[in-house]
Each structure stands twice: as C-alpha cells, then as structure tokens.
Amino acid sequence: MTEHVATNETILVVGGGISGMTAALEAAETGKNVVLVEKTPALGGRTSQMYRYFPKLCHPVCGLEINLRRLKNNPRVRVVTLAEVSGIEGDVGNYTATIKVRPRYVNENCTACGDCGRAVETSVDDPFNYNLGQHKAAYLPNAMAYPQRYVLDPAIIGTADADRAKAACKYNAIDLDMKEETIQIKAGAVVWATGWKPYDAAKIQPYGYDRFENVITSVEFERLADIHGPTGGKILRPSDGKEAKNIAFIQCAGSRDENHLRHCSRICCMASLKQTHYVREAYPTDGKSTIYYIDIRAIDRFEDFYQKVQADPAVTFIKSKVAKITEDAQGNPVCHGVNTEGYKRYTTPHDLVVLAVGMEPSVKGINIPGHIVADSSGFIEADPANGAVFGAGCATNALDVNRAVQSATAAALRAIQVVNKVAKSEA
Amino acid sequence: MSANTAMADKYRNNFLKEIEEQVEMGDWVKMCMQCGVCSGSCPTNFQSAWEHPPQELFMMIRAGKREEVLTTTSMWNCTSCYNCIVRCPRKLPITHIMHGIAEYAHRLGVAPKMQPTRFFSGLFWKNATKTGRVNELKLSMGLYFKDGLVQGIKNGMAMQAVALGLVKAKRLNVMELFGGHKCKDQKGIQSMLKKAYEIERSRKAARMAG
C-alpha cells in the first residue's frame, strides 16, 4: 500500500464494508487511484460480523479474504481507517473532502503479536460482537482485521493501562501522543458506501428488547452462533447461559411498519431461514425453531431455500406478526398474538426470541455533505442532482451481500466515467 | 330504509366498494396486510366475545361476505382503547373502522338488536337527549332490565351493594327516578339536535346516492 497524492482524478470511497471495498477495488483495478475511508479500525463492515452467508451457508471469511488479497496487491488503493468524512465541497470532477481521522495509538510497526492486549487490564464493550461481550482495551478489532494492527481504546489513554501496553510492546508500535487529525482529500468522484445499521429494536416497545434479556436481534444471534463470538459459537441465552433450544424468530421487526421502517428490509426473511440452520446445527436432535411471519419474502432465486426449511420438521411457521412479548417466571420470553390462519390466539413461551430487525440506512439522519437525494426511508437515490456522488450498497437500498456487490460495481463504473472525463480520456 | 336497501343492493357484488363508500374510514380496509397485530393487541378476549377479529373482518369484506360482516356482533365489542391503531404497521384507523362498520350496519337496520353495546348506545342517546342531561339511575335501570323483568331484578340485586354505596356517597339520587335533573333550555337542545339530524341525513343520503 503506497501513499499517493489525491487529485481530481482520484475516486473517494466512503465506507469500507463489502460495498466500499468492492467499489474501491473495481475502480483501482481499472487503473484509478482510490482513497478508501473507513470509520472503524478495520475493513469488512457488517459482512465480517456474519457467521454465515445465505444461500450456500459459506463463511464470510472466504469472500472477504479474496477482497483483502486484491487490496494488498493493489498499490492504487489508499486505506484510511478510523476516519469519517465531515464535509465535501466542490462539484463534479472537483471535490474536496474534509476527513477527521481518530488516533489508533498504534503505528505501522505493529505485528499483531498481542503483548499489549495481554498487558492491559481494562476491558471495554466489543462492538464487533454487538456489545454482547467485552474485549481488552488494547485489541485487534477481529480475527481477520485489515489492517492487521492493534488499537487502543481511547478510554485507557492517560491511565496506567496505556503505559502498561506501551511497556509491553517490543516493536515500539505504541504511540500515545497520536492526536485526532483533520485531512483534506481531493477527488473527482465520490462513492458513498456507508451501509446500514440494524434498526434500534428498543423502539419496538411491545417486544421489550430493552426489558427482556432473552429477546435479542438477528445480528446478535449471528455473533452467538459464531465461534469467534462471545459464547464461542454455543447458542446460549443471555440471561442465564442456558442452552437455547426452542427459538422464536420474529419477522418484520421494525420493517414494513409505518411506525418504524416503512420499507421491506428484504434480507431478514432469508436471514431467519438461514439461522434455523444454526439451531439445527447446534442442537441436531432437539433444536426447535418457530418463525412468526406476515409473508415470507425469499428474495430472488431463494424460494428453494425456503422450501427446504419448510420441509424441516424442526421448523414451524406461524403466519402472524407477534403483538407483544412478555416474560414468565423462568425468564422465558412469551410471544402473544393471533394466528391469521384460523384466527386463534396463542401465548407461547420460548427459550430465546430473535427479532429479525430491519435495515436502516446509515446515512439516515446524518447530513451527507453535498445535497444528496434520498427516498422516504433515507436510502440514497440515483439522482442527477447528486452530481458525482454515487451511492453504493446498503446506503442505496436494503440489499444482501450479493446485491450490494453488484450495486458497488455499478457505482464504481459511474465514478470511473467521471474521472475519465476529468482526465479527458473519455468524452 | 327501503331506499337505502335498494341502493345497497346495487353494490351487493362489490362489498369492499360499498364499505369504502358508506363506512367512515372504510377506504382504509384495502390497506390491511393481514399481519394480525390488531387482534393480538386487543385487550378484549375476543375469542369469547368477538366472532371475528378485526383483520378477519377486513378479509371478509374483501371476500364479499356482506351478510356475515354486517350482522356480526364483533365490531360492537370494540372498547375504543386504540391499541390497534397505535400498533398497526399500516396505520389503519382500526377503532374508527370498527365503529364505522357498526354504524353502517345500524343504519341499514341489520345490526343485532340486543347486542349490549348497541342497546346501551341507543339507551344512552335517548336518555341524554331527552333532558339534555344524563339520568344515570334511569340509564342503569334500563340496562338492567334489557333482558326482561326477572333478569332485571336479578341484576339489580347483584349490584345492590354498589348502589347503596353510591347513594351513601351522594353519587346517586333515588329521586332521579321521578323526572330527574334537566338542562335549562331543553327546547334549544331539541332544536339543535333536530338541525344536526337534518344535516346528517342529507349528507348520508348524498353518500348513499353515490
């Protein structure tokens, strides 16, 4: 990774998840210079937090590894982590972005040996595991983090822990004097790939996500199933660590709801169908999944995936949106509602309830510099008024990984056309 | 009523359209996506009292089950708690639609006569508009004797302790049985109501005529 000077022939990619990485690589592999800006300390985004992908149930490690290899081999992509765009000025072919870069307190000398992590005593919430667990305040963001470098949590800066970390480092990699910097980067075109965030489940008041420990979200469930997760891949419920064998999945938790997200988040049905496989895998003989749904939207060619799950005797489908969740004396979440097939009331206890939360665009509510046109859900629209700022991936729509990659490639192509015009190599 | 029935006949094959045109907020019925949150959120145990929960009623309307919908007691059981409106993902004004359907069934004269909510509504209205003041004693007596003299006496006996308590606390005046309190300008109230009826009649006639 060489440092190159950004010019108005550079493409700025905001967001280092699967979409941003793809857009950056596609553009760089055609010979364009790219600056890839990522808010967290490592690339990979929410994709890296998945246990498995649908439909083939392969691990995201695989797809990310290919991209990371392309990235390491490509001198045209400059990656800036812990960085957020705070302003963009200018016009098509001539933008200047102001970027705030937070200190990592660890420089390039780091070999990821882990001595600092062992020396530090403080633990902080681990956002990679959606705060289900904690990690040391000197940490590697995740097992396959890129850049493969430790980070010091700002909470320990100025404490004895920071000095312990510094003393433990054999490579002189810890620099406690790093300060927040503001840099400016020129670009001809911008790809906005800031992705999505899980809808705040606590806002769905009747489901009690904020009151009941055993009501969790689908993204948290991914971490429970993952061997790198807080439970080491065992599906245990948060309240008492009991094996969660009878699991309810609630669809449209936040999505398709005028009170929450008005759009269909598109991936949640497939995600829950996929997660029933985790239950079966963890408890082959007595694992039970119950899917509460309005209608199953197995997008694209995935109807066969749905049919296979339907044929599984360990999975029950109940056509009903759960009206409310309560908790019984044993700490079991109890689903209340009416089954629309037969209009019968049910009151069913489960070990664990997983809310298939919707996708909220990360750009919603934040002011993207440069007057970006967004739809009523906050997703970036393809609009000429956006100039050469192109949305990619989940910043533009609720997409699965496959579609996010397609969207990112399209955005890269649009950005390439702009910088070609700047370079006068295209009319 | 015959004009109403004739007009309704015209639409008999398209009950959804009829509901949309005749029922207050009826044009929302088509927006229901059958998720079931309304009935799941209903505080009444509709399984014993409601024949059909709200989302089933909406589906029946769309399926053209005119007779079943208009003659059911279901929508009369709505307590107007508004839980369903608050939670409906499509923002259907379900409470209002329930009252709208009930009112339409009443207008057509097909609503179940002795359904307690309907009976009480009629009783309350007569009671309140007669003198311009609600006579609570006559109102509750009317409700007690809804199902005949014997049942009425039984109801009265069952509520005896409550009634005595109310009398002691001066919340109930036995003398109300003879005349009762009135508002000052009863004639004014009557003429206001007469005018209101007129306006409503002409508006509904216009709506019935399409």
- Predicted structure pTM score: 0.89
Strand pairing category for A359-361 and A288-293: unpaired
pLDDT < 50 stretches in chain B: none
CATH 3.50.50.60 residue spans of chain A: 11-102+180-195+362-422, 199-359
Kindly tell me if the per-residue pLDDT of A233 is higher than 60: yes
* Residue in A257, A260, A340 closest to B55 by CB: A340
Question: Quick one: pLDDT at residue A100?
Answer: 95
Given this model, what pLDDT does residue A3 score?
A: 58
- Check CB contact of B56 with chain A, cutoff 8 Å: yes
Kindly report the CATH number that applies to the domain delimited by A199-359. 3.50.50.60
Quick: pLDDT tens for A367-393.
666 668 889 999 999 999 899 999 999
Q: pLDDT (tens digit, 9 = 90+) per residue, A331-341?
A: 999 999 999 99
pLDDT, tens digit, 9 for 90 and up, residues A192-225: 999 999 999 999 999 999 999 999 999 999 999 9
Residues in chain A: 427
Q: Do A259 and B91 touch (CB under 8 A)?
A: yes
* pLDDT for the residue B13: 62
Percentage of residues in chain A having pLDDT higher than 70: 97
Q: A338 contacts in B (CB within 8 Å)?
A: 36, 39-40, 53, 55
Residues of chain B with CATH 1.10.1060: 2-112
Report the CATH architecture of A11-102+180-195+362-422: 3-Layer(bba) Sandwich (3.50)
Please list every residue in chain B whose beta carbon sits closer than 8 Å to the beta carbon of residue A257.
Answer: 89
From chain B, the residues in CB contact with A258 under 8 A are 88-91
Local confidence band at A1 (pLDDT 50, 70, 90 cut-offs)? very low
Mean pLDDT of A228-256: 96
**What does the mean pLDDT of chain A come to?**
94
**How far off is chain B from A75, nearest CA to CA, in Å?**
49
Does B39 sit within 8 Å of A259, measured CB to CB?
A: no
Mutate to test the interface with A, among B34, B35, B41, B83 (most CBs of A within 10 A): B35
Per-residue H/E/C for chain B: CHHHHHHHHHCCCCHHHHHHHHCCCHHHHHHCCCCCHHHHCCCCCHHHHCCCCHHHHHHHHHCCCHHHHHHCCHHHHCCCCCHHHHHCCCCCCHHHHHHHHHHHHHHHCCCCCCCHHHHHHHHHHHHHHHHCCCCHHHHHHHHHHHHCHHHHHHHHHHCHHHHHHHHHCCCCCHHHHCCCCCCCCHHHHHHHHHHHHHHHHHHHHHHHCC
Chain segment A109-153, per-residue pLDDT in tens: 999 999 999 999 999 999 999 999 999 999 999 999 999 999 999
Instruction: Using the predicted structure, report yes or no on whether residue A2 has a pLDDT greater than 50.
Output: no
B41·A206 Cβ contact <8 A: yes
Q: Give the pLDDT score at B48.
A: 63
Contacts of A335 in chain B (CB under 8 A): none
Average pLDDT rounded to a whole number, residues A303-320: 96
Q: What is the structure's pLDDT at B12?
A: 55
- A427 pLDDT more than 80: no
Task: Please give the pLDDT value at position B197.
Answer: 92
- Which CATH architecture does the domain made up of B2-112 adopt? Orthogonal Bundle (1.10)
> Per-residue confidence at A352, pLDDT binned at 50, 70, 90?
very high
Q: Is A57 left (phi over 0), alpha (psi -120 to 50) or beta?
A: left
Chain B residues touching A320 at Cβ < 8 A: 35-36, 40
